[in-house]
Chain A
Amino acid sequence: MDKWILIFFATICIASCTNSEKKEQIGLKKNDIRIVSLVPSITTELVSLGVRDQIVGATSYCDITKQDKKLIVGSATEVNIEKILVLKPDIVFAYELNSEKTIQTLRNNKINVVILEKLESFDDICNHFLKLGEYVGKKNTAHIIIRNCRNKIDSMVNKISFKKQKPKMFFQIGANPIFTVLPKTYMQDLILLSGCENIANGLEHGSVTREFVLKSNPDIIFVTTMGIMGMDEKKNWEKFTELNAVKTRRIFIIESEFACIPTVLAFTKSLEIIFEKLH
């Protein structure tokens, strides 16, 4: 009798596992590639390309895992390799923070791992987005999104009113210590496209002293939100009444979720916010 009860429960368990596997595959069609993204910005881009249902794994910091925790395969730096192998992805997107050992292990298990290159400009972001579109069979969608964004940016750039001398901008992306946007980063393009000059031109490291900023005397200061720390930093800068940006009341807050995410749509949105404040 005990033996039959055990077999009965085992059968129910096996049946429920099979059913759940079928449910998970409902969103995926036969020819859809299975994607794992270890990079939050790439996950966002994949969703904008319309392949959300093909994402079978993502990090705990990707937006989609906030709604579906079953998709979590790791954190910003650590991944559960076993879980990724079980998911049998066709492609895994990774970046510099993922350990080389993890990437090598995945490749040794014949998983295609694509590593995000460093994005130094808006052009790099667009090229990367196009390549992403190619990988997931959505190249045309990527083209359309990029074209629309470039058109928006071009129409904004034509409205620039700083004709004679470019104003100096300090773009703060960190507090304690103070971090500035550096040249050869995509955020530098936010400054240049808005018709301004970066006070950090020529620097190689982003951590600067408050004294450096005062000495540079920027005309415009943008501070990313960083929670409420952005507001705290804005108030800190407003204490220095000798700053040009304080005299002309051009210290602004910009949301980190737009300014600090290297995607085509977030970049365009950030530029819209900057233009709204400046021009």
Chain B
Amino acid sequence: MQKKYINWILILVTLLVGLVFTIILALCVGEQNYTLAELTKIIYIKTGMDYTIISEIRLPRIILGLSIGGALSISGLILQGVYRNPLVEPYTLGISGGAALGVVIAIFFNLNTTMGSLFLTFSGFIGSISATFLVYFLSLRKRHLDVNKMLLIGVMISFISSSMIMLLMSITTKENINSILFWTMGSLDETNKYMIKSVWIVSFLGLLLSYLFANTLNALKLGMTSAKHLGIDTGKSIAILFIIASILTGMSVSVAGVIGFVGLIIPHTLRIIIGSDHRILIPASFLGGGIFIILCDVISRKVISPNQLPIGVISGIIGGFVFIFLISRTKVKTM
């Protein structure tokens, strides 16, 4: 087997082992810390408050963290590949802005208090899909997608969404302002098991689907014309990839709020370490994003325990510093 593929297997195994260690850490650390021996005993006994904490509180957060971290990383990776722009990530292109606006509108009209908190997730998802459709259809020119136009329209939609959110915040009640602020800072606190399962399924399907386009993304690195010469139907591929990225982002934002920079930090960090072949980058980004978000969640739960920090704050600060450190110390491999 080629050395390259052996390296890839080693990378994936390393990431999987890292994920296992991260999961164990997340299960052990919290309001009450457990040693590995205690954790094993609790899982074996399967009763008591400690087991409830592990199985009903920490484990769902870990599954959600892995799903959302993975989804946002892959979404960022796809969008960077499609636009061939290293600064692009899910939050630049209006998808998350649309989701955030959908949620804020629901809070503004008190729909979460009249129809349940699940309605917030639904509103967020509708908002993200609406933004996706807007970007897509406004970028069509003679049935072909203009990628540069998509980028500009996406950025503008992001700005418009932010402005509308500020407008709604300025005229709503004090209680709604608190709800909006905390939602925009992100949280993995979700008690609905069906929601968590759905997020995991969609995220995993997103991973599988995007892996089918790994070679397409590799070809797109060479430019549109070169990709076409290699037999890639760029128009159709870009449309499908954009939709995959939008669904993954929309789902993540509507369930967990705004957890920024994951889609930027993780793909770029992994490119520095393992190169820019999407056949390894896609699964590595999924695992790397999951590990990152689970670790951020542990920090958010522990730093000012028993209070918790919003996870978006942690991912932004820590991720940003780590990324600047890596970028400044290494030569960036081209996309």
| Inter-chain contacts of A78 with B (CB < 8 A) | 170-171
- Determine whether B203 belongs to the interface, using a CB cutoff of 8 Å to chain A: no
- Determine whether A15 belongs to the interface, using a CB cutoff of 8 Å to chain B: no
Q: Which of A211, A226, A239 contacts B30 (CB 8 A)?
A: A211
- Are B171 and A176 within 8 A (Cβ)? no
- Are B174 and A97 within 8 A (Cβ)? yes
Q: Which of B53, B115, B116, B189 contacts A177 (CB 8 A)?
A: B189
- Are A176 and B182 within 8 A (Cβ)? yes
- Determine whether A228 belongs to the interface, using a CB cutoff of 8 Å to chain B: yes
CB distance from A211 to the nearest CB of B (A): 4
- Are A214 and B53 within 8 A (Cβ)? yes
Task: Contacts A209-B189, A227-B113 given; indicate if A242 touches B306 (C-beta within 8 A).
Answer: no
- Are B173 and A76 within 8 A (Cβ)? yes
- Determine whether B215 belongs to the interface, using a CB cutoff of 8 Å to chain A: no
Rounded to whole angstroms, the CA-CA distance of A238 and B140 in the bound complex is 51
Rounded to whole angstroms, the CA-CA distance of A241 and B46 in the bound complex is 13
- Are A205 and B304 within 8 A (Cβ)? yes
| Inter-chain contacts of A227 with B (CB < 8 A) | 110, 112-114
- Are A178 and B189 within 8 A (Cβ)? yes
Task: Contacts A76-B174, A209-B31, A210-B189 given; indicate if A240 touches B306 (C-beta within 8 A).
Answer: no
Assign chain A's interface to a size class.
20 to 34
Contact with B along A68-85 (1 / 0, CB 8 A): 000000011110000000
| Inter-chain contacts of B183 with A (CB < 8 A) | 176
Contact with B along A234-249 (1 / 0, CB 8 A): 0010011110000000
Rounded to whole angstroms, the CA-CA distance of A239 and B308 in the bound complex is 22
Q: Which of B170, B172, B178, B301 contacts A211 (CB 8 A)?
A: B301
Rounded to whole angstroms, the CA-CA distance of A241 and B173 in the bound complex is 35
- Determine whether A217 belongs to the interface, using a CB cutoff of 8 Å to chain B: yes
- Determine whether A255 belongs to the interface, using a CB cutoff of 8 Å to chain B: no
Q: Which of A175, A178, A210 contacts B117 (CB 8 A)?
A: A175
| Inter-chain contacts of A209 with B (CB < 8 A) | 30-31, 57, 189, 301, 305-308
List, sorted by A's number, 25 A–B pairs whose CB atoms are closer than 8 Å.
Answer: A76-B172, A76-B173, A174-B178, A176-B117, A176-B183, A176-B187, A177-B310, A206-B307, A207-B182, A207-B307, A207-B308, A209-B31, A209-B189, A209-B307, A211-B301, A214-B57, A215-B31, A215-B32, A215-B49, A215-B306, A227-B110, A227-B112, A236-B191, A240-B56, A242-B52
Beyond contacts A212-B306, A214-B53: 7 other A-B pairs, Cβ-Cβ < 8 A, are A207-B182, A207-B307, A208-B306, A209-B301, A211-B58, A228-B114, A242-B48
